[in-house]
Amino acid sequence: MERSVVVISAGLGSPSSSRLLADQLSAASLAELGKLGEPATVHTVELRDLAVEMANNLVTGYAAPALQRVLDQVAQADALIAVTPVFSASYSGLFKTFFDLIDPKSLDGTPALLGATGGTARHSLMIEHAMRPLFGYLRARVMPTGVFAGPDDWGDSRMAQRVSQAAAELAAVLHGVSRPSQAAAMESLPFEQLLANITAEN
């Protein structure tokens, strides 16, 4: 079965560093999926092309056909790659507006790989303190590795390694071989049994 990966880029320029990072993440993800024998197609969306439609949707409650197609693609995607530039130490307004229009239930359990671009490395934690909570609210399955790219990161081997690591995590989840978390591996016992065990030990 062919996988569908939707890539959301919230860059404002053309070209933009956010789109460049989004392309690197999607290419690496396709390569990792190929290694696992998982064919996939990528649909890349530039949010700046939908800015007017998104604004109209906010005030009318109606999504124009082009916007609705993208919303449907995201809802039906097997995985999501989302990249935004950093504005005021958070994601851009364009990025937030788009995800405000998403049905909160449509991303439930969807694997999501997060990326961000900014003018200084001081913004590198934005993925953790802003993007990750947003996608946690949407109940997406966020990959452990997020990728931030500042001016000095392009062409750096450490960034290339993070891109590869994040892509490998996404591919593994789609392939169904993701590493179980420590919490999932622990046996969950009823409270009464736990209490009985403590009493028996004493």
CB 74 within 8 A of CB 107: yes
CA 172, CA 197: separation in Å to the nearest integer?
Answer: 38
- From the list 43, 192, 76, the residue with the least C-alpha distance to 200 is 192
Q: Hey, how many other C-beta atoms are within 10 angstroms of the C-beta on 160? A: 15
Of the pLDDT bands very low, low, confident and very high (cuts 50, 70, 90), residue 187 is very low
* 101-105, 169-173, 194-198: range with highest mean pLDDT: 169-173
- Does residue 182 register a pLDDT over 90? no
CB 166 within 8 A of CB 147: yes
Instruction: Give the residue-averaged pLDDT of 36-46.
Output: 94
Report the pLDDT value the prediction gives residue 41, as an integer from 0 to 100.
94
CA 24, CA 15: separation in Å to the nearest integer?
Answer: 14
Among left, alpha and beta (phi > 0; psi -120 to 50; other), residue 89 is left
Taken in order 120, 123, 125, 128, is the CA torsion positive or negative?
A: negative
Instruction: Give the residue-averaged pLDDT of 149-172.
Output: 92
Coil, strand or helix at 53: helix
CATH number at residue 148: 3.40.50.360
What residues make up the domain containing 61?
3-201
For residue 163, give the amino acid letter.
V
**In the structure encoding, which two tokens stand for residue 171, read together?**
């591919």
Q: Mind listing the pLDDT tens digit for each residue in 94-134?
A: 999 999 999 989 999 999 999 999 987 778 889 999 999 99
CA angle in degrees (0–180, nearest 5) for 148-152-157:
75
CB 68 within 8 A of CB 74: no
Q: What is the number of domains present in the chain?
A: 1
Coil, strand or helix at 189: coil
